[in-house]
Amino acid sequence: MTAQTHQFMCLSDNFGLLIHDPVTGKTAAVDVPEAAPVLAAAKEKGWTISHILVTHHHADHVQGIAEVKQATGARVVANGADAHRIPLVDEKVAPGGKATFGSLAADIIDTPGHTVGHINYHFPTDRILASGDTLFSLGCGRLFEGTPGGMWEALKVLRALPDDTRVFCGHEYTASNAKFAVTADPDNAALKARAEEVAKLREAGLPTLPTTIGREKATNPFLRADDAAIAATLGMAGRPAAEVFAELRERKNKA
């Protein structure tokens, strides 16, 4: 049997995500932006949270951990390198290793950039990627601690995952990302179509996530920094992809 997912909103624009293993009944919450909606979502599904998989230490991803742990006894799984700044870590994982709960196993992918200790959880059998604040739909996380080069390398690893991988990210930022994306890649028909779809979804109050790796490869300028058309649009024809990526991120910061 395959993993079941449940995505819901927390705070103003954070996503909560539950991943449920129907074989063993175990359930992981990916980050806890706030406890109440995470506990309510689990109750609504009839699931009991057994694990909390943390992507990174920012408050809007960890501030509900203590309350959910107290309510459920969940085990907190996080990057060992960041355990000093993530609350109540029970299980330290490392990039290249795995996080397991019930019959499900996630590969831990190193995704420095937004923060240096940021990790992604990839469930290859179920084609699920929990990308935190690394990969967004039509965007990527702001570089608070890492370098553009490190983030670009991480995004290339994510880009190489199977096209039908469903991407669950930390925030509903797609509409604002779309506005910038069309300026960076104005002749991309797939991007234009996605931007229109996003506008309709948001008008209807619906989420734009999850997305897929295949769709992001076709539309997300931050996964396309090695595309000649984007380099040309930025006036950077022939420049290395990492430099084009850095410029994209810089321009998005100012947009």
Q: Determine, following the binding rule CB under 5 A, whether residue 58 of this chain makes contact with Zn ion.
A: yes
Q: Please tell me the distance from the alpha carbon of residue 248 to that of residue 222, in angstroms, as a whole number.
A: 7
User: Total number of residues binding Fe ion (CB under 5 A)?
Assistant: 3
Is 128 within 8 Å of 165 (Cβ atoms)? yes
User: Would you state the structure tokens that stand for residue 64, as one six-digit string?
Assistant: 């509900």
For residue 150, report the phi and psi dihedrals to the nearest 5 degrees.
Answer: -65, -40
Site string for Fe ion, 46-85 (x = CB under 5 A): --------------x-------------------------
Residue 176: Cβ within 10 Å count: 17
Report in angstroms how near the CB of residue 133 gets to Zn ion at its nearest.
4
User: Total number of residues binding Zn ion (CB under 5 A)?
Assistant: 2
Residues annotated as catalytic are 56, 58, 60-61, 114, 133, 171
Q: Determine, following the binding rule CB under 5 A, whether residue 133 of this chain makes contact with Zn ion.
A: yes
Q: Which of 208, 22, 34 is nearest to 52 (CA)?
A: 34
Q: Determine, following the binding rule CB under 5 A, whether residue 170 of this chain makes contact with Fe ion.
A: yes
Q: How many helices (H) and strands (E) does the chain have?
A: 9, 14
CB-wise, 123 or 173, nearer to Zn ion? Answer: 173
Q: Please tell me the distance from the alpha carbon of residue 182 to that of residue 31, in angstroms, as a whole number.
A: 30
Q: Which stretch binds Zn ion (CB under 5 A): 31-39, 129-137, 178-186, 204-212?
A: 129-137
Chain residues in the site for Zn ion (CB under 5 A): 58, 133
Chain residues in the site for Fe ion (CB under 5 A): 60, 133, 170
